[in-house]
Amino acid sequence: MALPTTDEILDDLTFFDDWEERYKYIIDLGKDLPEMDESLRTPERLVKGCQSNVWIEVGREDDRLQFLVDSDAVIVRGLLAVVMAAYNDKTPSEITGFDVDGYFQSLDLERHLSPTRGNGLKSIVARIQSIAQASQTAAG
Protein backbone atom coordinates (compact mmCIF):
# COMPACT_ATOMS: atom_id res chain seq x y z
CA MET A 1 0.00 0.00 0.00
CA ALA A 2 1.31 3.44 -0.88
CA LEU A 3 1.95 5.83 1.95
CA PRO A 4 -0.18 8.95 2.07
CA THR A 5 1.28 12.32 1.09
CA THR A 6 2.19 14.97 3.65
CA ASP A 7 -1.04 16.84 2.81
CA GLU A 8 -3.12 13.68 3.27
CA ILE A 9 -1.52 13.04 6.66
CA LEU A 10 -2.20 16.63 7.73
CA ASP A 11 -5.82 16.33 6.55
CA ASP A 12 -6.31 12.95 8.23
CA LEU A 13 -4.96 14.16 11.57
CA THR A 14 -7.53 16.98 11.68
CA PHE A 15 -10.29 14.36 11.95
CA PHE A 16 -9.05 13.18 15.35
CA ASP A 17 -10.12 14.96 18.51
CA ASP A 18 -7.26 13.92 20.77
CA TRP A 19 -3.66 12.85 20.63
CA GLU A 20 -4.37 9.28 21.67
CA GLU A 21 -6.35 8.82 18.43
CA ARG A 22 -3.62 10.60 16.46
CA TYR A 23 -0.98 8.28 17.93
CA LYS A 24 -3.05 5.26 16.84
CA TYR A 25 -3.26 6.72 13.34
CA ILE A 26 0.51 7.30 13.24
CA ILE A 27 1.16 3.76 14.49
CA ASP A 28 -1.15 2.43 11.75
CA LEU A 29 0.86 4.37 9.15
CA GLY A 30 3.96 2.54 10.36
CA LYS A 31 2.26 -0.81 9.75
CA ASP A 32 2.07 0.10 6.05
CA LEU A 33 5.83 0.60 5.68
CA PRO A 34 7.53 -2.10 3.62
CA GLU A 35 9.36 -4.70 5.69
CA MET A 36 13.13 -4.38 5.89
CA ASP A 37 15.06 -7.60 5.51
CA GLU A 38 16.96 -8.56 8.63
CA SER A 39 20.22 -8.58 6.62
CA LEU A 40 19.88 -4.80 6.10
CA ARG A 41 19.73 -4.08 9.82
CA THR A 42 23.44 -3.40 10.09
CA PRO A 43 25.39 -0.94 12.25
CA GLU A 44 26.19 1.19 9.18
CA ARG A 45 22.47 1.74 8.56
CA LEU A 46 21.66 2.44 12.22
CA VAL A 47 20.73 6.05 13.02
CA LYS A 48 22.64 7.41 15.98
CA GLY A 49 20.74 9.58 18.45
CA CYS A 50 17.55 7.53 18.53
CA GLN A 51 16.16 5.95 21.68
CA SER A 52 14.94 3.00 19.62
CA ASN A 53 16.84 1.23 16.86
CA VAL A 54 16.23 2.88 13.49
CA TRP A 55 17.74 1.69 10.23
CA ILE A 56 17.80 3.57 6.93
CA GLU A 57 18.73 2.05 3.57
CA VAL A 58 18.76 4.24 0.48
CA GLY A 59 18.47 3.36 -3.17
CA ARG A 60 18.27 5.51 -6.25
CA GLU A 61 16.02 5.33 -9.26
CA ASP A 62 16.74 7.96 -11.91
CA ASP A 63 17.46 10.99 -9.74
CA ARG A 64 15.02 10.07 -6.97
CA LEU A 65 16.06 8.64 -3.64
CA GLN A 66 14.12 5.69 -2.28
CA PHE A 67 14.37 4.93 1.38
CA LEU A 68 13.71 1.70 3.16
CA VAL A 69 13.33 2.35 6.88
CA ASP A 70 12.61 0.29 9.95
CA SER A 71 12.51 0.48 13.72
CA ASP A 72 12.03 -1.93 16.58
CA ALA A 73 9.40 0.40 18.14
CA VAL A 74 5.87 0.67 16.70
CA ILE A 75 5.48 4.40 17.38
CA VAL A 76 8.85 5.08 15.75
CA ARG A 77 7.80 3.06 12.67
CA GLY A 78 4.80 5.39 12.54
CA LEU A 79 7.01 8.45 12.82
CA LEU A 80 9.18 7.01 10.06
CA ALA A 81 6.07 6.76 7.87
CA VAL A 82 5.35 10.45 8.55
CA VAL A 83 8.94 11.30 7.57
CA MET A 84 8.78 9.05 4.47
CA ALA A 85 5.69 10.94 3.28
CA ALA A 86 7.95 13.99 3.07
CA TYR A 87 11.12 12.41 1.69
CA ASN A 88 10.65 9.07 -0.05
CA ASP A 89 10.92 8.97 -3.84
CA LYS A 90 12.00 12.61 -4.03
CA THR A 91 15.02 14.19 -5.67
CA PRO A 92 17.90 15.28 -3.41
CA SER A 93 17.02 18.94 -4.02
CA GLU A 94 13.36 18.31 -3.11
CA ILE A 95 14.54 16.66 0.11
CA THR A 96 16.95 19.41 1.10
CA GLY A 97 14.42 22.10 0.10
CA PHE A 98 11.48 20.64 2.04
CA ASP A 99 10.39 22.66 5.10
CA VAL A 100 10.38 19.76 7.54
CA ASP A 101 10.14 22.05 10.59
CA GLY A 102 7.02 23.65 9.15
CA TYR A 103 5.60 20.20 8.39
CA PHE A 104 6.20 19.00 11.96
CA GLN A 105 4.71 22.25 13.33
CA SER A 106 1.61 21.74 11.18
CA LEU A 107 1.31 18.23 12.60
CA ASP A 108 1.83 19.66 16.14
CA LEU A 109 4.02 16.62 16.54
CA GLU A 110 7.06 17.57 18.56
CA ARG A 111 4.99 19.01 21.38
CA HIS A 112 3.45 15.57 21.88
CA LEU A 113 6.66 13.56 21.78
CA SER A 114 9.01 12.89 24.66
CA PRO A 115 12.27 14.84 24.41
CA THR A 116 14.17 11.65 23.52
CA ARG A 117 11.68 10.79 20.74
CA GLY A 118 11.86 14.37 19.46
CA ASN A 119 15.66 14.20 19.37
CA GLY A 120 15.47 10.85 17.61
CA LEU A 121 13.12 12.31 15.01
CA LYS A 122 15.61 15.14 14.40
CA SER A 123 18.41 12.56 14.04
CA ILE A 124 16.39 10.66 11.42
CA VAL A 125 15.72 13.84 9.45
CA ALA A 126 19.37 14.92 9.71
CA ARG A 127 20.53 11.53 8.41
CA ILE A 128 18.14 11.66 5.43
CA GLN A 129 19.11 15.24 4.62
CA SER A 130 22.82 14.37 4.78
CA ILE A 131 22.21 11.43 2.40
CA ALA A 132 20.41 13.83 0.03
CA GLN A 133 23.19 16.43 0.27
CA ALA A 134 25.84 13.80 -0.41
CA SER A 135 23.77 12.63 -3.38
CA GLN A 136 23.56 16.18 -4.75
CA THR A 137 27.32 16.63 -4.38
CA ALA A 138 28.04 13.28 -6.07
CA ALA A 139 25.65 14.06 -8.93
CA GLY A 140 26.79 17.67 -9.33
Q: Which residue from 96, 105, 108 is spatially nearest to 140, judged by alpha carbons?
A: 96
Q: Are 126 and 84 in contact (CB under 8 A)?
A: no
Indicate which residue of 3, 26, 50, 82 is catalytic: 50
> Known catalytic residue: 105?
no
Q: Enumerate the β-bridge partners of residue 60.
A: 65
Q: List Cβ neighbours of 48 (8 Å cut-off, separation of 6 or more).
A: 123
For residue 66, what are the contacts with CB-CB under 8 A and spacing of at least 6? 58, 59, 60, 88, 89
List residues with catalytic annotation: 50
